[in-house]
């Protein structure tokens, strides 16, 4: 039996969904690549060390090892998003990984010292890493939209 037209409208990969998917794939592969270099491992130190969610990475893997681990995770999520073009269930895993990634990085705004510029009165004047991390709110929204799409796409057609 075919899907109802109202469901079919939401499950086709329209241009906006394709753009979200390919943008996230590019971001995960690009940022994952950067994790293999010392400059990125060093830049991550204050973010990881002050995060209750991520601080264990330096203890478990060391500074460069933590960067490698994040890079592998980012590449795995990017690969799942890519494979998800053809495999809807894999797409759900990739989109979930993306949602978790951006929820986690947004918490860094709260835990990284210097996130709000004191010389401008603090919040809402962004300082330090906050001005870089705030874009993850949009990436989280894109990930949620992709997850919603992929959940619909992977659900079995009604009987």
Task: Please tell me the total count of domains within the chain.
Answer: 1
Q: What is the domain range of residue 81?
A: 14-154
Q: Is residue 9 part of a domain?
A: no
For 21-56, how does the pLDDT look when each residue is reduced to its tens digit (9 = 90+)?
A: 999 999 999 999 999 999 999 999 999 999 999 999
Q: State residue 147 phi and psi, 5-degree precision.
A: -60, -45
pLDDT of 149 strictly over 60 = yes
Sign of CA dihedral 85, 89, 90, 95: positive
Q: Is residue 146 part of a domain?
A: yes
70: phi then psi, degrees, rounded to nearest 5: -65, -40
Nearest Cα to Cα of residue 73 among 106, 29, 115: 29
For residue 7, pLDDT beyond 50: no
Q: 3-class secondary structure for the chain?
A: CCCCHHHHHHHCCCHHHHHHHHHHHHHHHHHHHHCCCHHHHHHHHHHHHCCCCCCHHHHHHHHHHHHHHHHHHHHHHHHHHHHCCCCHHHHHHHHHHHHHHHHHHHHHHHHCCCCECHHHCCCCCECCCHHHHCCHHHHHHHHHHHHHHHHHHHCCCCC
List the structure tokens of 148: 């919603």
Residue for token pair 């995770």: 73
How far apart are the two ends of the chain, measured CA to CA in Å? 6
Whether residue 159 lies inside any domain: the answer is no
Q: Identify whether 2 is part of a domain.
A: no
Task: Please indicate, yes or no, whether the overall pTM of this predicted structure exceeds 0.85.
Answer: yes
- pLDDT above 80 (res 125): no
Residue 98 lies in a domain: yes
46 occurs within a structural domain:
yes
Give per-residue pLDDT as tens, 90-107. 999 999 999 999 999 999
């Amino acid at each position: 039996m075919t899907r109802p037209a109202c469901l079919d409208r939401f499950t086709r990969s329209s241009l906006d969904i394709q753009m979200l998917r390919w943008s996230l794939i590019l971001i995960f592969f690009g940022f994952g690549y950067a994790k293999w270099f010392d400059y990125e491992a060093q830049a991550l130190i204050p973010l990881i060390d002050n995060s209750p969610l991520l601080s264990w990475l330096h203890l478990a893997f060391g500074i460069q090892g933590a960067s490698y681990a994040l890079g592998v995770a980012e590449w795995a999520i990017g690969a799942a998003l890519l494979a998800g073009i053809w495999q809807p269930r894999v797409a759900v895993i990739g989109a979930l990984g993306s949602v978790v990634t951006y929820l986690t990085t947004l918490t860094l705004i709260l835990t990284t010292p210097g996130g709000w510029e004191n010389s401008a009165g603090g919040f809402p004047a962004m300082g330090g890493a906050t001005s870089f991390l705030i874009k993850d709110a949009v990436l989280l929204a894109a990930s949620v939209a992709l997850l919603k799409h992929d959940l619909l796409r992977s659900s079995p057609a009604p009987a």
